[in-house]
Chains A and B, each alone.
Chain A
Amino acid sequence: MFFPKAMTELELIVPARDLLAVTQILSRYGVFHQTDSAYPNVATGSANTWQETAASYAAFERRIQAVMQTLSIDEGEPPSAEFDAMVETEALRLAVERIEEEVKKTSDQLNIEKKRLEQLENILHQLEPVEDIELDIAALRNSRYTYSTLGLIPAANVDRLQTSLARVPYVFLTLRSDSQKPVVWLAGPQSNADILDRAAKSAYLDPLSLPEGYEGTPAKIIESLHRSIEETNQKIEELKNTLAQYAKEHGGQLRELLWQAHTSRVLSDAIVRYGQLKHTYVVTGWVPVDDLEDLTTRLRSASREILIETLPTTRYGHNSNVPVALINNKFLKPFQMLVNTYARPRYGEIDPTILIAFTFPLLFGAMFGDIGQGLVLFLLGWLLASKKIKALSGMSSLGGVIAAVGAMATIFGFLYGSIFGFEGHLVEEYLGFTLHPLWLSPIDEILRILSFAIDVGIVLLCVGFLLGIFNHFRSKDWAHFIFGHNGIVGFAFYIVFLGLLGSFLSQSPIAPKIAVAIASLPIPFTILAIVFGIAIMFSSLLRNLVEGHRPLIEGGIATFIIQSIMELFETLVSFLSNTLSYVRVGAFAVAHGGLSMAFFSIAGQEPDLGFWITIFIGNIFFVVVEALIVGIQTMRLSYYEFFGKFFTGGGMRFEPLTITPKEEG
């Protein structure tokens, strides 16, 4: 829970005859994260053959999906883990082609009919503007002295076409204006037919082409067109019914073929990444330690001659190539999403999910303390998390976070004595019962809540520092462990800083209690501040010294001194800003009460309909807008102030080889 799953590197030497059986075992249980076996001197000649096989399975997969799409068949549920046989491409080809041929004939016919319908509708669309003209269209086209063309043109080409005809006489009429495809009529002397025709073509004018049998005046043709459209629609309906029949007949088989092609593709894709020796294959990857024994037993049962080498991985060091599988239960999953949004923990690093699962709702609740609004958020979050609203099922993780922050806001609502914005005497006056704050009312005790918020910040920052020191210790990064800004020296300097801050603010009502308590300790803070200040100033030099980096100082001495002073200044500013940043927790709690008062002022004194509507709108505002703002502030405090002290991230995601990809475990 505190660290990603322990991993072991696995290297397998697989006899060629057991290749498939081993690959099936590796893909069946979803515990093997494959890496490329691109060792030098490992021949990859046959990789091309497997590449071709994988490509042909991929092509079959696409073809089956295309047929399924034509028949409106869904992919269905993934098959069981045992369903991992690789089918022969020839068998797959025969089965796919048989169904494809049957379906294609009907679907091609359907497409032809749809195109015909579109064409007929286009002609109708072109003829409607000239319906009233008593003129034989064919006669117009075959005129001896006049060139004439009626058709559709891309709207963007209309002006250009007219410009291109500047040197010849012509008539150009837009019969139907359309933002995309206007209907136009172009005419001119037959002697210029060549020029007019070239211009029309190059402007992509699509002339009206009447199918066989459509003759006479536009009105007569329109009548025939309506009849044809009706007939075509009927044919389309019949063909659709035939396809629906096919879907019933072949649905099951197509789903099975799809998964066979998919499985075969996944297996051959995996094999492409193996290295090949003369009679054996080299397979490398990562397995969670907990699953190692089980997997090796299964592998040995699949191949007697398999050679298995495991290379246990220590959590110390950076281990950037080790995939990271996080272990969090379903209650922590939503918060894992919050952590991953920032970064995925590295292999040896603490996974801060459990911490964030505690601090995130706590900070949110403290800023948004209200029983009623908190419960609304909780219900909303629960609805999302339970996936009861299908359209929002993708937001289930977010729902978990919303439910947790809603619950915490409810608890703080009791502590602050606030329900739907009603506080103190207003509760009794308008709601008819009494509600006293179990702890304090932020709006009445502003300085106390602000001071408390800073104390919370100090505690969280200290936890952050300690975790940072722990992470440096685990990764054996001694230079940063001792001299890093988030190492021992940095933490000691922060404590000294708090001591000085405490003594400076001791008389102030907003003074953080922890800082004042530290200041009261019999410690020479001024001297220590100078000592640790100098250590921070020259931390880069000291780190280079510990790590053995040379030169110790980059650039000239003068530049180094200026940089060191700036570094000290920056550290002090960041201590101050990080600590004071938590004031916002108290400030938002106060603002929540203040905003409620503002809505009550607008609502007036009389509890009439207008009053309740205003309060209702105010609460919607709180639940939607204020909750969002508070959420962003909580995220900011978590990501920048808290994570910044110990969390680096940048881990590689554990992506096990599997036929049916699952959500991250």
Chain B
Amino acid sequence: MASSGVSGYAAISARVRAMYSSLLSTQEFARLSETPDFPSLIGQLKQTAYGPYLESLKEKDLTSRRVNLQIKGRLADSYYSVIHIAPEQTRSLLKHLYRNFEVGNLKAILRGIVSDPSWERLQDILFPLGSLTVLPAQAMVEAGSVGSAIELLQGTVYDETLSFAMKRYSAEQNLFPLEVALDLFYWRQLWHEAKRLQGLDRDQALRIIGSLMDMNNLMWVIRYRVYHNLSEEELINYTLPFGFHVRDEDIRAIAAGADIASVVERVYPNIADVEALLAEPRSGLPLLETKLKRHVMQQCLAAFSGNPFHIGIPLAFLILSDLEIQDLTVLIEAKSSKMPDEEYQPYLLRTVTAKV
């Protein structure tokens, strides 16, 4: 019998709250942001919960890429712990949420095969999925071609999706259809998993996953229209008809050529200056994405108030952990390339208090 409510969530709720308290505090994050350079950022980061993950790095390995890889280990461990103690009926959703990193790895492998098929280089950028992956990553890279690499995925969940997309790859020699197919597959499955839940679990999952999906769906349709000049029917086929705030009519309106800013402002009235952001898409779209991520953050934080016995808390914690790593990646890249504060801070999801 599926355990739910207080009995099902007592342990996981306590555990996740303890893990949640180990996320970077505002003060810790401010201290990290205030470090003058990359070495002092790493020194400061070692004082946080990410410290143990950096201990094994030797001095010569302290590059931004290796540090990024190491800190992701913490996120992998969080997923592993949460999935392990989650109530049976929610594990499938959590595992599928984790698959996002596997899809990311799969895309990175395919790009690697096309651009620079070196396993040594590639393994440093793959998310450390541990045993929770079906990708024979090294064998795929060594397969030498996209087609041979994808053949190694026979029997996995990606087989069916990629078999259709491969036909287009063979004809067009472009990874775009493969990546879009993977994205659509991932989010459709995730939505399906969320909808399979019941009661409060379902409401919370649809709210949190839906918010995440809104952001992706909206950014896809905008980017495909602005950068790729795709037609209306292509835009519709490459996006999803569901979400939490963003309705299918909104996506279709953008696909049909409606003013993007007015659609975004209608869906997200709290996001200011959308028009200005869209006027200069190269710099504006990443900023718009940052604002949408902040909205997702708010949705996640809201899960921690009220009744704690539902899937919302573990989901929110995992997404917040991921967003924290994204923030740290911005900091690491900025400090390692000696970027001035005012250039990178707008891309941080957390607000950094100005130096006194």
Q: Which residues of A contact B (CB under 8 A)?
A: 59, 62, 152-154, 156-157, 159-161, 163-165, 167, 180-181, 195, 198-199, 201-204, 206
Contact = CB atoms under 8 A, between A and B. Distances in A.
A250 to B, nearest CB: 22
A204 B234 contact: no
Interface stretch (B79-87, B160-168, B313-321): B160-168
B266 to A, nearest CB: 21
B67 interface: no
B167 A206 contact: yes
14 contacts: A152-B164, A156-B184, A160-B236, A160-B237, A161-B237, A163-B248, A167-B256, A195-B233, A198-B234, A201-B234, A202-B234, A204-B168, A204-B181, A206-B167
Contacts of A198: 231, 233-234
Contact of A164 (B139, B160, B164, B233): B233
B161 A164 contact: no
A157 B160 contact: no
A359 to B, nearest CB: 30
A159 B248 CA distance: 13
Contacts of A195: 231, 233
A59 to B, nearest CB: 7
A156 B187 CA distance: 12
A167 B232 contact: yes
A163 B164 contact: no
A204 B165 contact: yes
Contacts of A202: 230, 233-234, 237-238
A154 B234 contact: no
A204 B237 CA distance: 9
B181 A163 contact: no
B139 A163 contact: no
A41 to B, nearest CB: 14
Nearest to B234: A202
Secondary structure at the B interface, as helix, strand, loop or mixed, is helix
A180 B181 CA distance: 15
B231 A163 contact: no
Contacts of B39: none
B179 to A, nearest CB: 13
Contacts of B142: 59, 62
Given A59-B142, A204-B177, A163 B236 contact: yes
B188 interface: yes
Contacts of A154: 160-161, 164
Contacts of B231: 195, 198
A203 B239 CA distance: 10
Contacts of A201: 168, 234
Given A62-B139, A163-B241, A199 B164 contact: no
Given A157-B237, A198-B234, A202-B238, 8 more contacts: A159-B241, A164-B234, A164-B236, A165-B233, A180-B160, A202-B230, A202-B234, A206-B167
A180 B161 CA distance: 10
Contacts of B293: none
Interface string B156-174: 0000110011011000000
B295 interface: no
A163 B252 contact: yes
Contact of B234 (A59, A62, A153, A199): A199
Interface in B140-168: 142, 160-161, 164-165, 167-168
Given A156-B188, A202-B238, A164 B165 contact: no
Contacts of A160: 236-237, 241
A319 to B, nearest CB: 21
Among all A-B residue pairs, the 8 with the closest Cβ atoms: A164-B236, A202-B237, A164-B233, A199-B233, A202-B234, A204-B164, A203-B237, A164-B237
Contacts of B241: 159-160, 163
Contacts of A180: 160
Nearest to B239: A160
Contacts of B233: 164-165, 195, 198-199, 202
Contacts of B161: 154
Interface in B221-275: 230-234, 236-238, 241, 248, 252, 256
Contacts of A62: 139, 142
Contacts of A203: 237
A4 to B, nearest CB: 27
Given A163-B252, A204-B164, A204-B165, A199 B139 contact: no
Contacts of B167: 204, 206
A454 B188 CA distance: 58
A602 B40 CA distance: 77
Contacts of A163: 236, 241, 248, 252
A202 B174 CA distance: 13
A323 to B, nearest CB: 19
Contacts of B252: 163
Of A62, A163, A165, A204, which is in contact with the most chain B CB atoms at under 10 Å from its CB? A204
Nearest to B180: A202
A185 to B, nearest CB: 17
Nearest to A167: B232
A199 B168 CA distance: 13
A348 to B, nearest CB: 26
A164 B234 CA distance: 7
A81 B161 CA distance: 48
Contacts of B165: 204
A156 B165 CA distance: 14
Nearest to A155: B160
Contacts of A157: 237
A153 B248 CA distance: 22
A54 to B, nearest CB: 13
A198 B236 CA distance: 11
Contacts of B168: 201, 204
Contacts of B256: 167
Interface in B193-230: 230
